[in-house]
Amino acid sequence: MTEPRIVTVTGAAGNIGYALLFRIASGAIFGPDVPVKLNLLEIPQAVKAAEGTAMELQDSAFPLLDSVEVFDDINSAFDGTNVALLVGSRPRTAGMERADLLQANAGIFGPQGKAINDHAAEDVRVLVVGNPANTNAVIAQHAAPDVPADRFTSMLRLDQNRAMAQLAEKTQAPVRDIKNVVVWGNHSADQYPDVSFATVNGVPANDLVDQAWLADYFRPTVAKRGAAIIEARGASSAASAASAAIDHMHDWVNGTPEGQFVTVGAYSDGSHYGVPEGLSFGFPCVSVDGRYKIVDGLDISAGTEAGIQFNIAALQEEYDAVKAMGFLK
């Protein structure tokens, strides 16, 4: 057995955290030969619930689970962390202005970013799941100047998975045959799901579906899938969000298959597809040698370019608002 890896999950008592933890303990991120230590971070009023989850994890007797600890102190929770899954966030409530939502989450993700900067392992990888995920990732990254910016990512993999599922259903193909779907931009209804480079069992997706279906059904369905799930089950996506987070981290650690890319909310250095520096933006990426790298040189259609520009505007607006509040240097 290799040295155990430390995984910190914030909002660990919530539904997504609950769905995540048992899969991590079973080896779903690092594989069957790498033990893990789980750090569960919660706000004080939710610690008791997290302790109940910790008991269940212990009682599951996972061979790969070396330890599970519950924290309400962020510095202790991120001590030596190799993987940080930032799930807990302030949800938007009725009557809450967007600026209030951004400010409330800056008060969560700024301190977490600083704790990661000060206490996490040198190889730390961070995935922000809590919404607004893209901008929360930017806030955390700015608070961690000693950590390479590309170690902070936001979750677009759920949107990619949703897009793959819709394309599989439409073409009557198993989802395993769907490759290279990308979702550009923001993990929100602004996103631009794109099948321009996708294949279905090796056949270009654009040869199998028409543009009217993509515009009228596919893109709106993928972008609004979260709202549809809330309407259907009375609660937000939890298991599918957890599954996507596992996919994101598994590929980051273990690499993506040859010839395939996945969607990552990645840090923009300003040199890819016209996206300004500093945004966390959904890009096609490959994972090589433990790093996500943006795939350059794709032939972008006019429709995709319009979708990218729309998302740049939305995310730049959030970035500027958070900067005006003083949370970004």
Which positions are annotated as active-site residues?
187
Sequence letter at residue 57: L
Dihedral sign computed on CA atoms, order 213, 214, 216, 221: positive
Which of 271, 314, 277, 315 has its CA nearest to residue 295?
A: 271
Beta bridge partners of 282: 185, 265
Which residue type is seen at 75?
N
Strands 182-184 and 192-194: antiparallel
**Which burial class, exposed, middle or buried, applies to 322 when counting CB atoms under 10 A from its CB (0-12, 13-18, 19+)?**
buried
Q: Regarding beta strands 262-267 and 203-204, do their DSSP bridges make them parallel or antiparallel, or are they unpaired? A: unpaired
User: How many angstroms separate the Cα of 279 from the Cα of each of 86, 160, 221?
Assistant: 18, 19, 25
* Among the listed residues 226, 243, 269, 235, the one whose alpha carbon sits nearest the alpha carbon of residue 85: 243
CA 318/CA 322 separation, integer angstroms: 6
Q: What Å distances lie between residue 166 and 142, 217, 229, CA to CA?
A: 36, 9, 14
Q: To 10 degrees, the CA torsion angle through 251, 102, 308, 190? A: 90
